[in-house]
Structure 1
Amino acid sequence: MLKILKPGFFTTVQDCGRFGYRDKGVPVSGVMDSYAGAKVNALLENEESAAVLEITMTGPTLEFQADTFIALGGAEMTATLNNTPVSNYKVIKVKKGDVLSYGKLESGFRAYLGIKNGFTTSLLLGSRSFFFPVTERNSIKSLESLPYSPVKEFAPKISEMKVDADLDNASLKVYRGPEFEELTDRQLGELFSKEFSVAKENNRMAYQLNETIEGSNLSMLTSATLPGTVQLTPSGKLIILMKDGQTTGGYPRILQLADKSIDILAQKRSGDSIRFTL
C-alpha cells in the first residue's frame, strides 16, 4: 500500500482512459499528458495501461508500505526520497517505510508517479481513472492508502532516459474542426495571428482562454466532442475540452488539437501563453 500523508493540491489515479461509454455521457478521462505517463511506465516496463498518479501543481507526501520501484515524470517539481533529491525519468528503488515528498513546482503543471506494475485501485468501466461519479471521489485524500503489488527485485533494461518534455512549448498544432468552414476571414485571421493565454478557469474538464476572437452565432444541434475539441462561444471565448470534458456540446467545434498538443496544453497553467498552428 501507498499511504497518503499529504494529498497535494489535486492528485488522482489515472491510466490510458475509459473507452466505449461516451454514448452514455462518460468521458474518456486518463492521463492529461499521455506522453509523460507513457514514459514513466516504459521505464518501469509496465503495460501501457498501468495506472499512475497524476499530480497537479502541488505534490503530495507519500509513504511506501512495501518494497517496489518507481519513476517520476512530467512537470519539473522538486522531489525527495527520505530527504534525498530525486529527479525525473529515472528508475528508483524504494523500500518499506520510505517517504517521497514533493516541493516547489519549477516548470510545467502536472507531474506523474509511476510504480512497478501500476497501482491496483478498483477497475470501473474498464479503467482505474478517477472521475466522480464513476469513482467514489475525484482525487486522493489524506491518510488513505492506494494498493500496489510489492516488488523486491527488478533489473530494468533502461534505468533512465532523457525526455524532451516540451514544457516550454507554446505552439499547439491543430486540425480543422467540423465547423471550421463556417469561420469568417476575420475570425481566421484572429485565430492564427493572436497569442492567447490560459485563463484561471482551467482543469481536467476544459481550458478557457483569456483573449477572444469575433464570436459565432451559428445555430447547431448538440454534437459529439472529443478531448482537444476547441469550441467558439457567441461571445468569442474559446474553450478547449480536455480528458474529463463533456461528450457533447452545442458550440461550433472550430479546431481539434493533435494528441501531442493536448499533452503540451496539459502542462500549462493560468497566464501561460499558447498559439494555434494549423
Structure 2
Amino acid sequence: MVKVLKSGFYSSIQDFGRIGFQDYGVPYSGVMDRYAASMVNALLGNNENEAVIEMTMTGVTLQFDCETLICLSGAYMSPKLNDLLIQNNKVTKVNKNDVLSFGKLESGFRCYLAILGGFETEMIMNSRSMYKGITPKYYLQKGGKLSVKRCSFSKTKHHARLKIDNSYLKASIIHVFKGPEFDLLSGEQQERLLSNTFTISKENNRMAYQLKEPLGNNLDAIITSAVLPGTVQLTPSGKLIILMRDCQTTGGYPRVLQLKESAIDVLAQKFTDNTITFSLNS
C-alpha cells in the first residue's frame, strides 16, 4: 500500500488507456507520454502497460508501507527519497515508511512513477486510467491509499542498463502526417502551417493543446467525423487545436494534420509559451 501525503497539481493513475470503446464515445485516455511510461516499466521488468502515476508540473508526496522498487522517467522534478535526491531512469529501492517527494521542475512537464508490479487500482473497460465520468476518482487525492501488486524481489528481473534517450524532452519539432482535410487548405495556408513557429497557449491539458498563433480559415465545417489523440483541428476562427489522450472521439472541425505517436510524447512534455514547429512526414 502507498499513502498519498500530497497530491501535486494534477496527478493521476494511467496505463495505455481504453482501446475498443470509442464507438460508445469513451476517450482513449492513458499516459500522455508513452515513451516515458514504457521506460519506467521496462526498467523495473514490469509489463509495459502496468499502471503508473502521471504527475504534471508538480510532484506528489508518497509514503510506502512495504519494501519495494520504484523508478521515475520523463520530466525531472528533483525527486527525493527521505530528503535525499534520487535520479530519473534508475531503479531505486524503498523501505517501509520511506517518503518520496518532489521539488523544482528542471526539465519537461510530466513525470512518471512506476512501482514493482504496478499499481493495482480498479480496472474499468480494460484499463486503470483515471478519467472523469468513467472512474470514481479522476486524480489522486491527499490521504488516499493506492494498492500495489505484491512481487517478490527474488522472482523479478529489472533492466537497469536499458539505454534511455531523453533528447525528446527538449525537442521542438513535431512530426506529422497530412490530415483528411489538409488538401482543402490553400497552398499559402499549407506553407504557413508547415513553416511557422507556433506557441503553446495557456489552454493546454490532457484533452487538448491550443496554439496561440491563428492560421486563418475559410473552410466549410465538416460532417462530424472520427478524431484521435494527435489530430490537429482548425477552428472557424483559425485557432489550431491539437487533441491529446483525453480527447473526444468525434469532431466537426477540419482535421488538417495528424501527429505521429512519438510526437504526442514530445508535445506532452511542453507547457505554456513553449514553441513548436510541424514537420511533415511523407
TM-score (norm 1): 0.97
1:31-64 Cα offsets, whole Å, 9 max, x none, are: 0000000000001111121000000001011001
Is contact 2:45–2:159 with CA below 8 Å preserved after alignment? no
Give 1:199's aligned residue: 201
Give 2:135's aligned residue: 135
1:196 to partner: Cα distance: 0.3
Aligned residue runs from structure 1 range 172-251, under 5 A: 172-251=174-253
Is contact 1:27–1:247 with CA below 8 Å preserved after alignment? yes
Is contact 2:4–2:142 with CA below 8 Å preserved after alignment? yes
Structure 1 residue matching 2:102: 3-state secondary structure:
strand
Unaligned runs of 5+ in 1: none
1:152 to partner: Cα distance: 5.0
1:180 to partner: Cα distance: 0.9
Equivalent-residue separation in structure 1 for 2:229 and 2:213 (angstroms): 21
AA aligned opposite 1:249: G
Q: How many residues align?
A: 278
Give 2:49's aligned residue: 49
1:162 to partner: Cα distance: 4.0
Equivalent-residue separation in structure 1 for 2:158 and 2:118 (angstroms): 18
Kindly report the root-mean-square deviation, in angstroms, between the aligned alpha carbons of the 2 structures: 1.1
Of the three residues 258, 270, 273, the one matched with 2:272 is 270
AA aligned opposite 2:159: I
Give 2:125's aligned residue: 125
AA aligned opposite 1:159: A
Equivalent-residue separation in structure 2 for 1:157 and 1:124 (angstroms): 28
Equivalent-residue separation in structure 2 for 1:83 and 1:162 (angstroms): 27
Give 2:59's aligned residue: 59
Equivalent-residue separation in structure 1 for 2:272 and 2:35 (angstroms): 21
Structure 2 residue matching 1:235: 3-state secondary structure:
coil
Equivalent-residue separation in structure 2 for 1:125 and 1:106 (angstroms): 36
Is contact 1:91–1:160 with CA below 8 Å preserved after alignment? no
Structure 1 residue matching 2:106: 3-state secondary structure:
strand
Equivalent-residue separation in structure 2 for 1:19 and 1:102 (angstroms): 32
Equivalent-residue separation in structure 2 for 1:40 and 1:160 (angstroms): 12
Is contact 1:89–1:162 with CA below 8 Å preserved after alignment? no
Aligned residue runs from structure 1 range 58-207, under 5 A: 58-151=58-151, 153-154=153-154, 156-165=157-166, 166-207=168-209
1:231-259 Cα offsets, whole Å, 9 max, x none, are: 00111100000000010000000100000
Is contact 1:90–1:161 with CA below 8 Å preserved after alignment? no
AA aligned opposite 1:134: I
Unaligned runs of 5+ in 2: none
Equivalent-residue separation in structure 2 for 1:127 and 1:61 (angstroms): 24
